[in-house]
Amino acid sequence: MKRTTSHTAHKWSFATRFRRGAFSWKSALPIQRLKEALAEIRQIARADPVLAADGAVALLEKLSPAFEHVDSSSGAIGTAVNRAIDALVPVIAGVDVPAPVRMRWLDRLFDALQDDPMPYIEELGDRWGDLCTSPAIASSWADRLLPVTARVMGAEGLGEHFAGTTACVRRHGAGASSVCMTSRCSQVTRLTVPHGPRPDVLSSTGRSR
C-alpha cells in the first residue's frame, strides 16, 4: 500500500458508522462495528503507522457520542470499549511523531474525555502517561491538569467532577499518569494523602488494599 501523504484526506470506513447517536439500545451491532473499525486500523497500521494512530484518535473521539443510546446494563459494550482502548493506546503511543502532532492528538482525546457522560472511555485517562510518551509532554499536561485537580481533590473540594483527574493521578494497575511521569509525584501525594488513601494504594474497585 502506498503511504498516505495527507492523513486528513484519508477516508475511514468506520467514520460514517460512528455518527452521534448512530446506534439503538441493542449492543450487538455496535460491538460488531467496533471490531470492524479496529480491524481497519490494524490493516492500515501495517503500511502507515502514523495514519493508523490518527485513525485511532478519530475512533476514540467518536465512541461515546455514537454509543449514547446503547444499553450498557449487561456490561458487554463497556467491556468491548475497554478492550478497544487497550488495543488503540499502543497504536497511538507507539509512533514517532513531532511533539505538536502528539499534542493535537492529546487535545482531541481530552475533548473526547470531557464529552463522555456515560462514561465509556474514562479508562483512557488512566493511560494518559502512555499517550504522552515523553516527560516534556507529560510535564505540559501536568501544568494543565494539576490546578483543577488540586481544587477538586483538595480539602475544600465540593465533589466536582473533572475528566482530567484520572489523567493526572496515578491509579493502581494503570499506566503512569501524566504527573507521575514527571518529577512532581509529590504534588499528587500532597493532594491525596491528607484526605484519604493515596490513589496508588487503591484497587481497581476503589477500595483500600
Q: How many domains does the chain have?
A: 2
Q: Is residue 83 situated within a structural domain?
A: yes
Q: Tell me what pLDDT residue 3 has.
A: 42
pLDDT (tens digit per residue) in 78-120: 999 999 999 999 999 999 999 999 999 999 999 999 888 888 9
In-domain check, residue 3? no
Helix (H), strand (E) at residue 40: helix 28-45
The confidence band for 35, taking pLDDT boundaries of 50, 70 and 90, is very high
Return the closest-CA partner of residue 18 out of 2, 3, 31: 31
Residues 209 and 126 reside in one and the same domain: yes
- Among 34, 68, 103, the domain boundary falls at 103
Q: How many CB atoms lie within 10 A of CB 17?
A: 17
Q: How far from 22 is each of 81, 92, 100, CA to CA, in Å?
A: 16, 25, 32
The pLDDT assigned to 77 comes to 94
74, 103, 132 - which closes a domain:
103
Cα gap 67→54, rounded to integer Å: 21
Is residue 109 situated within a structural domain?
A: no
Same domain, 91 and 140: no
pLDDT for 197 equals 40
User: Does residue 64 form part of some domain?
Assistant: yes
Mean pLDDT (the chain) is 79
**Per-residue pLDDT band at 31 (split at 50, 70, 90):** very high
The vertex-128 CA angle with 190 and 62, nearest 5°, equals 135
Strands, DSSP E only, in 22-134?
Answer: none
Flag whether 111 is in a domain. Answer: no
Q: Picking from 18-22, 79-83, 197-201, which range would have the lowest pLDDT averaged per residue?
A: 197-201
**Within this chain, do residues 95 and 140 fall inside the same structural domain, yes or no?**
no
Residue 202 in 3-state DSSP? strand
Burial 94-119 (b: 16+ CB within 10 A, else e): ebebeeeebeebbeebbebbeebebb
Residues 131 and 97 in one domain: no
Q: pLDDT class for 49, splitting at 50, 70, 90?
A: very high
- CA nearest 65: which of 13, 126, 121, 10? 121
Its domain, for residue 179, covers 122-209
Percent of the chain with pLDDT over 70: 69
Which pLDDT value is given to residue 129? 86
Q: Please classify residue 201 by burial: count the beta carbons closer than 10 Å to its beta carbon, then call 0-12 exposed, 13-18 middle and 19+ buried.
A: exposed
Q: What are the distances in angstroms from CA 133 to CA 9, 96, 137?
A: 26, 9, 7
**Is the same domain home to 99 and 127?**
no
User: Does residue 170 surpass a pLDDT of 90?
Assistant: no
What pLDDT is attached to residue 116?
85
- For residues 136 and 90, state if they share a domain: no
Q: What pLDDT score does 174 carry?
A: 42
Q: What is the mean pLDDT of residues 66-74?
A: 91
Q: What are phi and psi of 59, to 5 degrees?
A: -65, -45
> Omega before 119 cis (within 30°)?
yes
pLDDT at 201 over 50: no
Cell numbers found for residue 126: 488512566
Looking at the structure, do residues 28 and 77 belong to the same domain, yes or no?
yes
- What was the pLDDT predicted at 187? 61
